[in-house]
Amino acid sequence: MRILLIQPHSSPSTIGADELYMHEPLALEYIAAGVIAEHDVKILDMRLERDLKGVFDGFRPDVVGITAYTVNVNIVKGLFREIKRWNPEVFTVVGGHHATVSPEDFLSPDIDIVVMGEGVFVFRELIRRIEKKEGFEGIKGIICKRDGSIIKTPPEPVADLDAFPFPERRLTERYRREYFTEWMKPLASVRTSKGCPFRCSFCALWKLAGGRYLRRRPEMIIKELAEIEEEFVFFADDESLIDARRMRTLAELIKEAGIKKKYFLYGRSDTIARHPELLELWKDIGLERVFVGLEFFRDDDLKYIKKGSTIRQNEEAVKILQALDIEIYASFIVRPEFHRSDFRQFRQYCRRMGLNFATFSVLTPLPGTDFYEEVKDRLITHNYDYFDFIHTLLPTSLPLKEFYKEMYYLYKKAIPVSKSISVLKRFPLRDIPMIIRRSNKILRQIRDAYKDYE
């Protein structure tokens, strides 16, 4: 069978998408790996290649699968409408994060099956049944409409990440030089774990793993890393450093294997504060950057989202990383309730921290999170295009125009120009004009975001 897997592009209404970073479609590469031995599989990354009709006509797929985050829902449903219009006989499947947390959003005549949870083995079984013209009874983790009724089976809990095949990266060969995050380009992605033992109210990732922290064996990660050509590697984990013993073992094995890469991974501030020696070990084998969800500048706000860490731990983690000369991707959150004084204190706090780089998102109630359940009756928009962490979904204390003016100044003034220049120097000289144009465009979109609600 011919199987077309699609990574969707984002809506023009979405701010920052596909411009600030673009990681390889790892989920689709995993899905492809499960079926490629017996079928003709193609991955289309529509963030980089928009000619779906040309690809569709040339490849003539029997099955089309698309993955989706919440912000992709409207685009993905539109793509399926087009596909069914071109050929109603094509079997259509949707999966990914949003299909797992809100599968009913995809119950559409244009979508034949919704897959929830890890899709590798579910999709493989679906393809086998389609090929043999069998029914889908008994398959775990699917939802669909049949004869006016909704059929839904819960996903099979994932226990062993090492049971999955390695991602089929050959299918994204023509795109791979374009995957990046800031200066780290081309960038490969590797999953080393799944889940998180913490219970942040704004995050659904810990729920998708059933509250567990699943780990791959370091030996399997080494084997996969040895096959990756890119110099830069992003660990696509929910949190990479929590199991310090495993990460020590992995670092030692990377050193023994002589693997020379530059790494970017997620790390909680409390983990970093407790294990500075672990970060020193990883610095020695190529750790260049750590994404740290610092979130806020006050403990009360951290408690509000049930972060489980403190401002003191945040500041200690920053000092540790700065002392090791590991670049900090500092991620902060702005509450819709903030007043001008809150924004001013936020700017001052960031400048005191001496950060080189920071991003600021609006606290967003994503479907599947505890926070969403708490505030869903107060949402001012249900347009999924705006679930981009920049558009507020909740009422703001400031008038919207003033709120986004403060967001704009937060981005402009929280990091001193001299610090921003030090980051800019990491980019190839030829890319700097494009980076400046792209950054200015996004800043203008943030400043004018209030207009999207008019």
Instruction: Classify the C-alpha dihedral 431-433-438-439 as positive or negative.
Output: positive
Give me the percent of the chain exceeding a pLDDT of 90. 94
Q: Is the pLDDT of residue 17 over 80?
A: no
CA-based angle 294:296:299, to the nearest 5?
105
Residue 288: count other Cβ atoms within 10 Å of its Cβ.
Answer: 19
Q: Is the pLDDT of residue 296 over 80?
A: yes
Instruction: Quick: pLDDT tens for 33-92.
Output: 999 999 999 999 999 999 999 999 999 999 999 999 999 999 999 999 999 999 999 999
Give, in words, the CATH class of 2-153.
alpha beta
- What's the whole-number mean pLDDT along residues 338-358? 97
Query: Nearest-CA neighbor of 70 among 329, 403, 393, 396?
Result: 393
Take residue 292 and report the two structure tokens written for it.
């740290």
Q: Start-end ranges of CATH 3.80.30.20 in the chain?
A: 161-453
Instruction: Quick: pLDDT tens for 137-194.
Output: 899 999 998 877 888 999 988 889 999 999 999 999 999 999 999 999 999 999 999 9
Take residue 78 and report the two structure tokens written for it.
């539109």
Q: Start-end ranges of CATH 3.40.50.280 in the chain?
A: 2-153
pLDDT-derived band at 103 (thresholds 50, 70, 90) equals very high
Q: Is the pLDDT of residue 18 over 90?
A: no
Specify the pTM: 0.96
pLDDT-derived band at 284 (thresholds 50, 70, 90) equals very high
Q: Is the pLDDT of residue 9 over 80?
A: yes
Q: Would you say 238 and 197 are in contact if contact means Cβ atoms under 8 Å apart?
A: no
User: CA-to-CA distance for 335 and 330, rounded, in angstroms?
Assistant: 17
Q: Is the pLDDT of residue 391 over 90?
A: yes
pLDDT in the model for residue 211: 87
Three-state DSSP state, 257: helix
Exposure letters 407-435 (e unless 16+ CB within 10 A, then b): bbbbbebbbeeebeeebbeebeeeeeeee
Beta strands 113-115 and 142-146 are antiparallel
User: CA-to-CA distance for 364 and 331, rounded, in angstroms?
Assistant: 14
Residue 403: count other Cβ atoms within 10 Å of its Cβ.
Answer: 22
User: CA-to-CA distance for 209 and 158, rounded, in angstroms?
Assistant: 7
Query: Nearest-CA neighbor of 333 among 309, 367, 368?
Result: 309
Q: What is the mean pLDDT of the chain?
A: 96
Q: Would you say 30 and 406 are in contact if contact means Cβ atoms under 8 Å apart?
A: no
Q: Domain 161-453, what architecture?
A: Alpha-Beta Horseshoe (3.80)
Residue 63 CB partners (closer than 8 Å, separation 6+): 1, 2, 3, 4, 90, 91, 92, 93, 127, 130
Residue 5: count other Cβ atoms within 10 Å of its Cβ.
Answer: 27
Catalogue the E-assigned strands of 32-165. 40-45, 63-67, 91-95, 113-115, 142-146, 149-153
pLDDT in the model for residue 78: 98
* Residue 258 falls in which region: left (phi positive, over 0), alpha (psi -120 to 50) or beta: left
